[in-house]
Amino acid sequence: MTHRLDLIAPHGGQLINRIATPEQKQEFLEKAEFLPRVPIDDRTASDLVLIAIGGFSPLTGFMGQADYDSVVENMRLANGLAWSIPITLSVDESVAAPLTEGSLIRLDDSSGRFIGVLHLTEKYTYDKKKEALKIYRTDEEKHPGVIVVYNQGTVNLAGDVWLLERDPHPQFPTYQIDPAQSREAFKAKGWKTVVGFQTRNPIHRAHEYIQKCAMETVDGLFLHPLVGATKEDDVPADVRMRCYEIILEHYYPQDRVILAINPAAMRYAGPREAIFHALVRKNYGCTHFIVGRDHAGVGDYYGTYDAQYIFDEFEPQELGITPMMFEHAFYCTRTKQMATTKTSPSKPEERVHLSGTKVRQMLCQGIMPPPEFSRPEVAQELIDAMRQRTQLCDA
């Protein structure tokens, strides 16, 4: 007797697919020279991809005003479905003015390549300062998410989209596992419960500790680093990916982890982005999601555990994915193991945890961080990379 393996439903109940069929692609290519063109930046291009592959299900395109207003104000789409980050296509008034609602728009990436089509259903203006305060909890231009909002256009273009073609990732094609594929992979492994882990940083011992704590209670780990646009002083994606490969090879059970890339751009929206990251991983098939210290934070804009507290603003069934909350982990010199304040009897001076800034300074100087903080193979990879990228050390 075989047992059917039902994966968690995508957010909204259906995994969206907005990749053009061969017939649609041919039709769009034939019209290409006659369609009005709208250039989009790298973040918008990554949003287009994630809509198309179902990572942003139930979205089928860029948000109209009703959804936008509801998300900004209430963290829900106009139909009441939980959603915490506006997904918009913003352009200058001069670009929006000649565009006609009801028409098809050609979307070109930053290199001028035709990559998608928008069926324009709505044009609307929005309050940038309000979006900044609601989404990022600040209107300061030095916040990397806020400055993106301030620099983008004043008019949002809304409507369904089509991605012309799903291209292999230029850097990590073997790790490009889209939601339909990750769901099949989980099924093939017989995983009923899968915990997702979001990261934009190289993996260190505290990450390893909370991942392995989570792995004790689920069938598998979906290690899902973000490889879209990040801050200039963040460690580059290729370096981070090599660190993940190294640590998985030496320190993790091979059959219980899947490493895949998340093509999204980082927004640094702290609590709101924690909800967003969880819903995206739900679409990839994860049943659980790790929320650690200062998730998706930057600077001192958010409280240490604000990204955990925000989950209390939703009923569990609204999100449908289970958050796994972890405190800040450290190496306890008294018990000689990784721990948190929940499990360690140590005093503050008996705990080894270094700030990201301090570690970066050590790496730039060629100093190996203590093994209590970082696996030596990973630290060496970072030191080598830092030597080649002096701008990271100068930042």
* 5-32 confidence digits (pLDDT tens): 678 999 999 999 999 999 999 999 999 9
Cα angle 268-271-277, degrees, rounded to a multiple of 5:
70
Supply 158's token pair: 């809304």
The sign of the torsion formed by the CA atoms of 323, 328, 333, 334 equals: negative
Q: 54 in helix, strand or coil?
A: coil
Start-end ranges of CATH 3.10.400.10 in the chain? 22-163
Q: CA nearest 288: which of 362, 211, 364? A: 211
Determine how many CB atoms are found less than 10 A away from the CB of residue 259: 19
Q: pLDDT tens across 252-265, in order?
A: 999 999 999 999 99
Confidence band for 393, pLDDT divided at 50, 70 and 90: low
The verdict on whether 200 is a catalytic residue reads yes
The reply to whether omega before 168 is within 30° of 0 (cis) is no
* Among 43, 74, 76, 201, the one annotated catalytic: 201
User: On the CB side of 228, how many CA atoms lie within 13 Å of its CA?
Assistant: 19
Q: What share of the chain is helix, strand, coil (3-state, %, to 5)?
A: 40, 15, 45
- How many CB atoms lie under 10 A from the CB of residue 311? 19
User: Using only C-alpha atoms, what is the Rg of the chain?
Assistant: 22
281-308 average pLDDT score: 94
**What is the per-residue pLDDT for 356?**
64
Looking at the domain that runs over 173-262+268-394, which CATH code has it been given? 3.40.50.620
pLDDT at residue 385 in the model: 83
Read off the pTM: 0.94
Which tokens in the block code for residue 315?
A: 């009923």
Q: Label residue 159 left, alpha or beta by phi (over 0 means left) and psi (-120 to 50 means alpha).
A: left
Q: What is the pLDDT of residues 68-110, one digit of tens each?
A: 999 999 999 999 999 999 999 999 999 999 999 999 999 999 9
Q: What is the pLDDT of residues 238-294, one digit of tens each?
A: 888 999 999 999 999 999 999 999 999 999 999 999 999 999 999 999 999 999 888
In which order are the strands placed within the sheet that holds 257-259?
Answer: 257-259, 220-225, 194-199, 288-291, 322-325
- Which whole-number Å values give the CA distances from 222 to 13, 48, 53, 266, in the listed order? 21, 23, 18, 18
- Domain(s) labelled CATH 3.40.50.620 in the chain stretch across 173-262+268-394
pLDDT at 214: 97
Is residue 18 part of the annotated active site? The answer reads: no
Max Cα–Cα distance, the chain, nearest Å: 71
Mean pLDDT of all residues in the chain? 93
Q: Contact, 332 vs 350, CB < 8 A?
A: yes
Q: Which of 18, 106, 183, 200 is catalytic?
A: 200
**CA–CA separation, 333 vs 337, rounded Å?**
7
Please state the rounded mean pLDDT for residues 184-191: 97
CB 308 within 8 A of CB 325: yes
CATH topology of domain 22-163: Sulfate adenylyltransferase (3.10.400)
